[in-house]
A and B are shown apart, each in its own frame.
Chain A
Amino acid sequence: MADVESTGHSVKLETLDFEGPLDLLVYLVKKNEVDIYDIPIALITEQFLEYVEAMTREKLESAGEFLLMAATLMRIKAQMLLPQPDLDDEELEDPRRELVLKIIEYQQFKEIAEHLRDHESSRRLLFSRGYREWLAEDEARAEEEPANRATLGDLLRAFADVMEQAARDRVHHLEPLAVTIEEKVDFIRSRLKRDGRSSFRELFVVGEPRSHWIVTFVALLEMAREGEIRLRQAERFGDINVFVGEGFKK
């Protein structure tokens, strides 16, 4: 999942991943450095629609919520254009009010979520008696759900992320394919034998040429087909984790 805050302004909007329409609005308000209490609704609506248009081409499944917000934005924009019957009337409600309150409230919970993330991080560094059992229980709960099975689409998305990272991070090497699928299968097996599990990302060794990563990916697909590994994803678009499967060969 793209981290909006750290991605910076230079990145094209459509490459970012948002949790929902409000997440996108928070991003647009910050990016444009506009006053939340006086949102330039035309500008924000335009940028919002730009993103939605780019997005709907790829992931239609979550487009509904974005389209609903787009409709709200356009309604507000239209209301703003209407002549105000009585400009002195203090009671007259700004058509943007409700939306602004929602954005602020959402932003606050986003912040609290970040606090929770900090607590999660520091908690992971503390160990007590019985922590093995505690973690094992927690992991068992996390992976039990069949809904967590990663689909081919999830895998491709995760792999695209990895490759995109590679394209950003490094210069390109041109070299012959120096690694075989068997070697990568062995590598993945050794990792899983040692740890029992691995994150998808960790199997792509930093510093290796991209061609090796492609081989790693093919090896993963093979092993999943053979039932050697199980691929689990706790959340839609979340990180994928690799576990030892029934057909695991030592």
Chain B
Amino acid sequence: MSDYSLAELCIAACAEAWRGDGEVLATGITVIPRLAAGLAKSTFNPALMMTDAEVFLVDEPVPVGKRGDYTIKPEGWMSYARTFDNIYGGKRHALVAPVQIDRYGQTNISTIGPRDNPKAALLGVRGYPGNSINHANSYFVPSHDARAFVAGEVDFVCSVGYNPARWPGGKQPQFLDLRIIVTNLAVLDFGGKDNAIRVKSLHPGVTFDDVQAATGFPLERPTDIPTTPAPSAEQLKLIRETLDPHGARSSVFKGDPPGVRQAA
């Protein structure tokens, strides 16, 4: 048995997205990315800016859930308008959770199925198009399977990816910058040939074949694939006691499984 959960492993893996980013706005949408941004800011990248998920920039990450006696520590203003001003300036790295992603790193959160007769209407494209063409982006996919990692293109392309056929004038957008994809099985990046998606690390107990079998397109396979590093004792303490005291992370994966996958 590992002494950390899959959720905690994913939080630590997602936090790595912001290592070396310097003074940018870290936006983590959904529980694990948000906790990851807080972890990165609390440890190896204190220069990161974060918000209270509403309107203030805060000097320390706001714990998830009921706050009790905790009061936020505002250090600045990040209104809706300023959020976009910052996006247009590129000083942001978002880690968001799309419903579909394809081999180009294009993602979808709008509609599933045919556009004129959608099987499921989701949120709408939100800010995905603008984010993807203005600043660094990473993705979190909690359920790594062929419904999420689709064959072909996603049903409605909400964010730009490494697909030259869609680039304006055939030229790569100058600020397109996709970094990593963290899933329940592995960490992927765009370091393959022509930015192809490859496996960067495998979560403990997961094989390349497991990941490939759960993906609707071929993945690049480096010769040596490391294991996703376990969260450190310091990281676990921060996650459990400070960032997520009510344990919101435990409901992300069904049954809150351990970080080290048990042999089947």
Q: Do the two chains belong together in a single complex? A: no
Query: Which B residues contact A (CB, under 8 angstroms)?
Result: none
Query: Which A residues contact B (CB, under 8 angstroms)?
Result: none
